[in-house]
Structure formats: C-alpha cells, structure tokens
Amino acid sequence: MSRRTTAHAGPAGSLEDVLERARRVPPVAGFPGVDALLAWFGALAADHPGLVRERRIGTSRLGEPIPMVTIGSGPRPHLLFAGVHPNEPIGFRTLQHLASELVGDPDLLAASDATWHLIPCIDPDGTRLNEGWFADPADRTAYSRAFYRPAPAEQAEWTFPFAYRDAWFDDVIPETQALMRVIDEIRPELMVSLHNAELGGVYYYLSEDVPGAVPALHAVPRALGLPLDVGEAESPAIRSIAPAVYLMSSTRDEYDYLDSLGMDAASMVGGDSSSAYASRHGTVSLVAELPYWSHPLADDTTPTSADYADVVRAKGEAMIALGGTLVGLLDEARPDLTIRSPFLRASEAFVPMTAELGRSEVLRAERPGLRRPATAAEVFSNEDVVRMFRLRWGGMLLRALDAEVHAGLATARVHRVAARAREVYAGWTAEADSLTGLTVLPVEQLVGVQYGATLAMSRVLADRAAGRGATS
C-alpha cells in the first residue's frame, strides 16, 4: 500500500491535500489476519530502521505479545490503535496505509510535526475469532455467522477503571493495561481509537467540540462520495455536536440516563473508555465509525408518516422479544454446556442485555417530546438495529453451541437446542437478506475516511495550538 511523493492539491497538511490523499487510497481487498498484519509491520520496521521503531507494549490474555510501531520524532504525540473491537478490522488497513504514507512521503511526516505511535492490533485473541470472514466482508450473513465480539468485561475499549455513584469497575484486562501504560507514557495530543459500524453511513465521535473539526470531518466522506449517517444515535445518552458528529460516548452519561428511566444503572454499565482515561492528559480523542454496507436511507432526513415515539417503542418491543428468544435457547442448553468458550461468555452477557436495552427503549418512548414525525433515516436505523442484534447475538450463540457439537461433547438436549437455534437464525438471515438497496462499500473508501479524518484532526489541533482558525 506504499506510495511515493507526488504532487498534491495543496501544501502538505492543508485540507485540500488531506482530501486528495484520502481519495488516493489504492484498491484493497478484505482484511489481514493477525499474523499477516503483525508480519507486515515487522517488515516495515526492519526495512526502515532509522525511521520506524517497534517494541512490545503488553501481552494478551492468551499470551500473545502486543507490539507498537513508532514513526517519526516530532513534538506532537499521536496514538492510534486498531482491533479495539475485533469485529471491526477496517482500522488494520487504515494503519497499514498511514504507516506506508508516513514512511514513503517525507512531506507528510514533516507537515504533521508529530510522532506517530501505531498499535496494529490491541486484541489479537478476539481478532483471530473473526478471521473467518476477513477475506470477503461483502456478505452480511456470512459476516454474522462468523462474528465474534467479546463480552463487555473483556473489551479493551470498555474496561478502563470507572467509579461513579454505586457503580464500580476495576477488573482491567491486560490489553487495557497495555493501553493505559502507553497513554500515560506518551500523553497523546491526538488519540484515534479505530472502530467501525456495519450498515448505514459515516459518523464520528469527538471527546470535545474543537473549533474547525466539524467542517473538516464532514468534508472527508463528502470527498469520497460516502453518506453521513443521520439516523439514530447508538444511545440516547449520547449528545450531538452536529449532524453525524457526537460527543464521545460516556459511561457516566449512560449511567445517568439509565437511572433517569428508573432502571438499575449500576448493573447495566461496566468500565470506562480509552477517551475518558486519556482526558487526564488533555488528549483529544477521535472515532470515525464506518459501515461495510451503505443504504440510501442512511442520510435521508425526509419526514415520514411514522411517529418517532412509535418507532422507538417498536424497536424496544422487538428487542425484548429477541432477548426472550435467545434467553430461552441459552437457558435450555445451559445445564449441559461444558465449554466456557469466548462465544458462550459473550452470549451470557449480550443475550440478557438485549432485553434490558429493549425495556429502556420502551420506557424512553413514553417521554415527552418524542411525539413528532420520524425521519426516513431514523425509521431505517431503528429497524436495522434489531436486524443487527439478531444476526450478531444469534450467530454467536450458534458458535457457542457448535463448540459443544464439534468437540463431540453435545448431549441430545444441546443438539435439539442447536437445531432449533439454526432454524430461528435462518429466518432472521432470510429477513435481513430481503433488505434491498444495500451497497457494499469499497474497503479503500472506508480506509480513506479514517485516514483522512485522522490527518484532518491533526491539522485542526495544530491550528488550535498555533492560535489560528482552521484554514485550507
């Protein structure tokens, strides 16, 4: 993915240059597995010993070394890490491309005035459990059937220490400990946690509303012809800065929101985020969320005849029903399950959580102010959340049951539950497959957004430090 210096649309580091660079990401297919990814970065360090330094920063729960690569020696520390959620591998390609550009284009490295710290994969254990779909991410059903997402208490992004009111979390996993050490050591000016969504459009999270950030971030997907996602936010507790740009998700805000609904908030939240932890150093954090698949309704703000409160209530009721179905399957099989696989641990966390989230949405639907026409994007995104959770959690529960079957340990009861789960799941995949209008997005465009957004935020922060407005 490397490229040598070529003429740019503007001075290196200008917004025109950033957008042109984002547009020029070369075609790429699929995503690398852990071994290929780490070998690629190891070779880069070996080929550029005076510029690229590699060192171990931690160890995964299964004993795998976690490396970090550092490029450049500018006074502005930037930290990027991928594989935070192991079902979100776009960041692997983004880091490969960024590293290639920094090594191959001295103008870009000099213009950033930064030292770039890149962690190729912070959760190698979880990533290996998703590699079955990395070669061809175009098929949503194949993706969901080979899907794995760790239980919340096993996620590197959401296991930072947290203490608020009657909630307490200090069970920090080794991968998160590695991030904590690096954050405290380098005190990053800019930190980019590389996530991605599944279906819809582009949206962002920022730890603070930095002047000039919104227009720069909006310009990147526009330059690549990708829609913004102006549908439902991931949580009602999340506050909007601008269309498709949100303040970073906060465990404290989530607690307060759930408590305001009368729910047991302490039992529904866990650890804090990397952004919350890094804020002690004045770090500005960015997340660029990108979909594998897009849909015309993702950015359609046309009012519909549907009432927004009814749309929210219908989603909540569907999630309650989904949770009930999955809990029933899991509870029936549980007495005979013998393998404490990651799939089972994740299912035991997410399956009951689905119904709880559904109940919170039913309660929200009764709040004043929700009686208004829903936009087409809101209707679509609320409906698709249900589809997404059916495919995700149903697929993981099947993997948990399959582990017993493939190991030759499944009892007759487990075989019966697995057969029924496959039948239910087939209905959910058929419903998802019937959705028309989906477009598979080229990986290079998704990389272009993360890459361009990172360069754009670096530029915005440099302008702020210099006391000037963001200019092109």
Calculate the alpha carbon distances from 132 to 100, 201, 345, 404, 429 in Å.
26, 25, 20, 19, 18
Give dist(CA 22, CA 452) in Å, integer. 5
Give dist(CA 125, CA 256) in Å, integer. 33
| Look-up of token digits 């909007």 | 240
The secondary structure of residue 238, as a DSSP letter, is P
Calculate the alpha carbon distances from 160 to 147, 152, 196, 270 in Å.
24, 11, 20, 9
Give dist(CA 344, CA 124) in Å, integer. 19
Q: What is the pLDDT of residue 306?
A: 98
The counts of H helices and E strands in the chain are 16, 16
Give dist(CA 396, CA 294) in Å, integer. 24
Yes or no: say if 294 and 201 are a contact pair by the CB < 8 Å rule: yes
Q: pLDDT tens digits, the chain, 472 residues: what are they? A: 444 444 445 777 799 999 999 999 999 999 999 999 999 999 999 999 989 999 999 999 999 999 999 999 999 999 999 999 999 999 999 999 999 999 999 999 999 999 999 999 999 999 999 999 999 888 999 999 999 999 999 999 999 999 999 999 999 999 999 999 999 999 999 999 999 999 999 999 999 999 999 999 999 999 999 999 999 999 999 999 999 999 999 999 999 999 999 999 999 999 999 999 999 999 999 999 999 999 999 999 999 999 999 999 999 999 999 999 999 999 999 999 999 999 999 999 999 999 999 999 999 999 989 999 999 999 999 999 999 999 999 999 999 999 999 999 999 999 999 999 999 999 999 999 999 999 999 999 999 999 999 999 999 999 999 887 654 4
CATH number of this structure's domain 15-295+440-465, picked from the four choices 3.40.630.10, 3.30.420.40, 3.40.50.10090, 1.10.3720.10: 3.40.630.10
Its pTM stands at 0.95
The residues with which 293 forms a beta bridge, in sequence order, are 199, 440
Question: Rounded to 5 degrees, what are φ and ψ at 28?
Answer: -145, 145
Give dist(CA 245, CA 230) in Å, integer. 9
Domain boundaries, the chain: 15-295+440-465, 301-437
Burial of 348 (0-12, 13-18, 19+ CB in 10 A): middle
Angle of the 213-223 helix axis to the 443-465 helix axis, nearest 10: 160
